[in-house]
Chain A
């Protein structure tokens, strides 16, 4: 349902308020989930990798909830695809954290090392190096803090080995999720034809013009479907995490509260 099509400004105000409540609840749920995981320095890399991925998932869900302007076909799928990626990665890491979390770290620092080398190699080539160049000193410092550069190998293949994220999804029981969520969202994230053909072309109705389509920049309006999707992905990830660490599942999660509250708020409108 699109917010703009509601004539009741009070309902719109209420929905935005509920989205903010979800954001607050999501952060609390993240904090509580992490607190239920007993810390052990011997497994610090696992704590940091999985914890940071959970924080990432929460951050994306919160930012989406707090920004109704992105609840549309053009922007939300890009962010949701990122959330889908995080979900698959966390599920994959949780299957064998001792082996996979260090691999995740090694891959990441190798990629950053490669990025930095590319920027430094630009020199007089006349090519704009991009945003990373502004942060170069800070990024180099961070990288050196992770590992001395002369010990950082660079993996130019996929992090998990052959098959990439598709294989990762199969390994951790997320194949259906990959097929139904990640893959379709990838079309928007990569601005492929199945996405831009629908969203950035409009058919010309002039019979004299041969029924072509014209590129355009559409207006967009917040659609609640995308808020619900973000909440749902967040919920799926936190549930899987709590299940894997043997922590109690919550009686009512942040996503469930949002869904119920939205149904109540919209029942009069519908």
Chain B
């Protein structure tokens, strides 16, 4: 069989040879899990490390519902990415906090998020901790560094559970719907990821779903500066390190 030329399936656009995907979706933009995903969902990672998958989903759903009922002009998107909390007014944030006190969720949130609150002053959740001058301790830095490191691999158990929580909260809000046979509707199976049968395939759909939800601005604010503030703070805290 004659060999096909190199890049035979690419579509020429002047001097640019576009991949089939790029040609089919010319206006698609990159969404970086590391640059944006980690800062947005690190709070879910901290919840997961303290409480496990089910309680994390429960807390995240309660927080998101608390935001959606926090006043007449509350954001109609799904408040699960950290940047969504950045956008809340003081009165909306206060209303959300009161709701979390009522359903006994606030203390759990503050306890798990403590490392983030004391290290990243000015983070979207900083209004939860009135005493903003608390000094971070060594274990706070360790907790943050370990959580970020584990979330860096989008396929890690921790990252997958965070992403599944995002999907779960999005379903809970009613803003996304699916049919039962689609793998995205089986997002709860991520609790057994990666060993449970079928969980790896579900995981692939969850990852794709989260990137799509981020890209369309439903679960996070695409132009938010929070991710840059997050990473810049990391640069302030410590210097670069290199593999040997």
Which A residues are within 8 Å of any B CB, using their own CB? 39-42, 44, 114, 117-118, 121, 123, 147, 150-158
Contact = CB atoms under 8 A, between A and B. Distances in A.
B55 to A, nearest CB: 32
B7 interface: yes
B16 A154 contact: yes
Given A42-B225, A123-B3, A153 B22 contact: yes
Contacts of A114: 6-7
Interface string B14-43: 111111111000000010000100000000
B231 interface: yes
A42 B15 contact: no
B111 interface: no
Contacts of B51: none
Nearest to A161: B15
B15 A151 contact: no
Contacts, number: 51
A144 to B, nearest CB: 13
24 contacts: A40-B228, A40-B232, A41-B227, A41-B232, A42-B228, A44-B35, A114-B6, A114-B7, A117-B7, A123-B3, A147-B30, A150-B19, A151-B30, A152-B19, A153-B10, A153-B16, A153-B19, A154-B16, A154-B17, A155-B16, A156-B15, A156-B16, A157-B15, A158-B15
Contacts of A156: 15-17
B235 interface: yes
A123 B10 CA distance: 21
B1 to A, nearest CB: 12
A147 B33 CA distance: 12
Interface string B93-112: 00000000000000000000
B232 A121 contact: no
A156 B4 CA distance: 18
A40 B227 CA distance: 11
Nearest to B13: A153
Which of B10, B21, B30 has the most chain A CB within a 10 Å cutoff? B10
Interface size class of B (residues with CB under 8 A): 20 to 34
Contact of B10 (A40, A42, A154, A157): A154
Contacts of B30: 147, 151
Nearest to A157: B15
A118 B5 CA distance: 9
B6 A151 contact: no
Interface in B209-237: 225, 227-228, 231-232, 235
B232 A150 contact: no
B21 A150 contact: yes
Nearest to A121: B6
Contacts of A44: 35
A142 to B, nearest CB: 14
A98 to B, nearest CB: 14
A34 to B, nearest CB: 11
A153 B232 contact: no
A247 B3 CA distance: 55
A106 B16 CA distance: 11
A153 to B, nearest CB: 5
Contacts of A121: 3, 6
A41 B16 contact: no
Contacts of A118: 6
Interface string B59-100: 000000000000000000000000000000000000000000
A130 to B, nearest CB: 15
Contacts of A123: 3
Contacts of A40: 228, 232
Contacts of B14: 157
A39 B17 contact: no
A55 to B, nearest CB: 14
Given A151-B21, A153-B17, A155-B16, A39 B7 contact: no
Given A39-B235, A41-B235, A154 B7 contact: yes
Nearest to B19: A150
Contact of B22 (A151, A157, A158): A151
B6 A117 contact: yes
